[in-house]
Amino acid sequence: MELARIFEEHRSRLRAVAYRMLGSLSEADDAVQETWLKLARTDAAEVANLGGWLTTVVGRVCLNMLRSRRPDLPLDAHVPDPVVSPEAGLSPEDEALLADAVGLALLVVLDTLNPAERLAFVLHDMFAVAFDEIALIVDRSPAATRQLASRARRRVQDATPAPDADLARQREVVDAFFAASRAGDFEALVAVLDPDVVLRADGGTARPAFTTIIRGGTAVAGQARLATRLAPFVKRALVNGTPGAVVAPRGEVVAIMSFVVRGGRIAEMHVLGDPERLRGLDLAAWID
C-alpha cells in the first residue's frame, strides 16, 4: 500500500508526460498503468531517484507505443484528444495535465515528429530530463539526443507561433465567429478569420467524410456557413485551457472545437468529430 501511495504522488506528472507523448487521453492512462505495473515488479528500495525512474519508464512505454502505431494511418487531419473544461476554470487534474499550456495546435505539430524526436523534445524541453537519461531510452549518444531535441524544437517553434495572450479577447473573437455562423454572414466570417487560416477536422473511421483539411479564409468561411444549422447547439467550453466549444444537438455531443487566435483573428481551428473518441471523454456537463 505504501508503494501505491508513493506512485499516486507521481501520477499527475506521469500522465502529463504521456499525454504530450501520445496526444491521447486513453493511451496516456494505459501508459501510466503500465508504468505502475513495472514499478510493482521492481524493488523500489533500490531506486535512488524514484521520480526520475518513473519518468524514464513512462517515456520508454510511450516511445514503444508510438513506434507500434500503424504507419499507414494519416496524421495530416488527425486531431489529438482535447481536454475539455467548463468556462469557470480548469479542475486541479486538468491544471496538472496542462501545466505548460499545451494546446491542440502544439500536439498536432508533435504528431509530425518521429518518435525519438518527440521523446527528446517532450522529456527535455517540457520536463527538464537530462540528455544523458534520454539517450538511454532512445539508444543514442547524449550528443545525438541533443540534436533530436534541437530539430524538434525548431519545427515546433516554426509551426506554432504564439497565440494572443488575452483569453478574454480570444473569447470575443470566437464568439464573433459563432455569431457570424448563426447569421450565415459570409463577410463577417471572413473578417474574423486569418486569410491563411487552417481548419483541421477529424471524423475518425466512423465518419471519414467529416475528415478534412481546409485552408484559407474564404474556404473556411464557406464551410462554416454550411454548418449554420448546428450553430444553436454550440456551447462554450475551455478546450486545452483556451476558448472553444462543444456542439451537442439533441443531447448528443457531435463535435469539439478548438481555436488558435493570433493578431485578433482565428488562425487555426481543430474539430474532433470522431464518435468513438468523443464517447471516451467526460462531456456530461454539456449534454442537456
For the stretch 104-151, pLDDT in tens is: 899 999 999 999 999 999 999 999 999 999 999 999 999 999 999 999
* 234 beta partners: 247
Tell me the three state secondary structure of residue 144: helix
State the pLDDT at residue 231. Answer: 84
Question: Residue 138 is inside which H or E element, if any?
Answer: helix 131-138
Residue scoring higher pLDDT (70 or 123): 123
How big is the chain by its Cα radius of gyration, in Å? Answer: 20
State the pLDDT at residue 42. Answer: 85
| Residue 2 in grid coordinates | 505504501
| Residue 286 in grid coordinates | 454539456
The sign of the dihedral angle between the CA atoms of 69, 73, 76, 82 is: negative
* 266 beta partners: 193, 261
For the stretch 178-204, pLDDT in tens is: 999 999 999 999 999 999 999 999 999
Instruction: Flag whether pLDDT at 237 surpasses 80.
Output: yes
User: What band does 55 get if pLDDT is binned at 50, 70 and 90?
Assistant: very high
Instruction: Flag whether pLDDT at 288 surpasses 80.
Output: no
Tell me the three state secondary structure of residue 25: helix
To the nearest 10°, report the CA torsion of 216, 217, 220, 226: -140
